Amino acid sequence: MRQIFGWMKDVVFPPICLGCRRGLVDTAESDVELLCRQCCQEILDLVTPRCEKCGFPVPHEKSFEDKREITPFEFLEGSTRKTPTLGQRSVSGAAVADCLECRQYEFSFEKTTCLGGYQGRLKELLLQSKGASGQAAGFALGQLLGAQVDINKFSRVVTVPMHWRRRLTRHHSTVETVARGVVQQAKIPLDLTITKAIRPTQKQGTLSPAQRRKNMHRAFQIRRPNLIQGQRLLLVDDVMTTGATLNELARGLRKSGAASVEVAVVCRAGWNVN
């Protein structure tokens, strides 16, 4: 019966790709429900070499020692999904010493998985995901992100929380929606109760990197630390710029007993870079 309803729904409301608005002829063509294969390919930035630890773009020549060819759909092909890692798609991670950001800041997280920079199709979809009816775009980006993480490495997914006062003025939390897409794809339990924003923070966009770090200081609380004792956590956010927010949270999570914290973000914008 369910199948019949599903079939009827597809006839009456044929699924449309959120990226290019073309009809999705075969919804099983990619693991991401509402993005076509071509859009997934456009979104996944496989060209820019990035620092393994913080996802910041690094000089090309230093990080491409391994010239192994990567198929963008390595992870999408076949009926059973493989478990790709960032290493698979970023060719070879840059050494931390090569990264300007890591040289400057001591990040408390161990690794960053991202889809790409703040540009092109990814930027469009991210902006879409923040709108009133942006849940589908946020969820699809989360699914694509979830396909990039090595699911065997993590025991729990946590998120960058939104302060309740900001929540009043938003339609939904993009980060939460993205995280739901990640766990749907990666099959890792999501816990939204562990991290809490305990004071409203200024909008980061207008602040300098130093001000951003100050702005985030003691902005979060780690609740129920017993749940994260010895856990390998994946911390999800939508956009990472200076990494101040993620760093503050990762530091708190480690202090509260997490064995490790890695970061997964839709977009690694960087400070004045894409």
Residues that bind Zn ion (CB under 5 A): 17, 19-20, 36, 39, 51, 53-54, 56, 99, 101-102
Q: How far is the CB of 111 from Zn ion (least distance, A)?
A: 10
For 192, list phi and psi in degrees, rounded to 5.
Answer: -95, 0
Residue with smaller CB distance to Zn ion, 51 or 216? 51
Q: At 264, which amino acid appears?
A: A
In three-state secondary structure terms, 86 is helix
Residue with smaller CB distance to Zn ion, 46 or 100? 100
Residue with smaller CB distance to Zn ion, 99 or 244? 99
Q: How far is the CB of 99 from Zn ion (least distance, A)?
A: 3
Q: How far is the CB of 52 from Zn ion (least distance, A)?
A: 8
Q: How far is the CB of 238 from Zn ion (least distance, A)?
A: 19
Query: What single DSSP character describes residue 200?
Result: -
HSE-up (13 A, CA, CB side) for residue 134: 22
Residue with smaller CB distance to Zn ion, 228 or 263? 263
Q: What is the separation of C-alpha 137 from the centre of its chain, rounded to a whole number of angstroms? A: 13
Q: How far is 111 from 260, CA to CA, in rounded Å?
A: 10
Q: How far is 61 from 66, CA to CA, in rounded Å?
A: 11
